[in-house]
Amino acid sequence: EVQLVESGGGLVQPGGSLRLSCAASGFTFNNYAMSWVRQAPGKGLEWVSTICGSDSNTYYVDSVRGRFTISRDDSKNTLYLQMDSPRAEDTAVYYCAKGGRGSCYSAGDYWGQGTLVTVSS
């Protein structure tokens, strides 16, 4: 059974740092693209970043490029999102999602329960 469990959310000050983690199980982690998608309170879904499975290429939405870094540790089956210099508008529930095998461009077929990040002083 595929499971994705996010952790690391919480309250962070503007300009601070926070690292989110997503522990994966139930599939061969290194073969699959993984993404972060966020949802601000009462709002819709926004794709944040994807890391490919095969070559670990990374992609970001413009609003976080240069501030957030996606990475993966295939030995630990874990996905990360390093959030540097967060802003109030980054406040959201952050979901990790499993993508396709062998392709970075794919739908998210499994999602975690999400972790809430609140950026406030």
> Which spans of this chain sit near another protein (rule: CB under 8 A)?
35, 37, 44-47, 50, 59-62, 95, 97, 105-114
Whole-number minimum distance, CB 14 to another protein, in Å?
A: 23
Query: What is the rounded CA–CA span in Å between residue 25 and residue 7?
Result: 15
- The three-state DSSP-derived secondary structure of 17-82 is EEEEEEEEECCCHHHEEEEEEEECCCCCEEEEEEECCCCCCEEECCCCECCEEEEEECCCCEEEEE
Whole-number minimum distance, CB 39 to another protein, in Å?
A: 9
Would you call 88 exposed, middle or buried from its count of C-beta atoms within 10 A (0-12, 13-18, 19+)? exposed
Residue (68 or 121) nearer to another protein, CB: 68
Residue (12 or 64) nearer to another protein, CB: 64
Residue (110 or 118) nearer to another protein, CB: 110
Q: Which two tokens stand for residue 85?
A: 């210099």
Whole-number minimum distance, CB 13 to another protein, in Å?
A: 27
Residue (29 or 36) nearer to another protein, CB: 36
Whole-number minimum distance, CB 36 to another protein, in Å?
A: 11
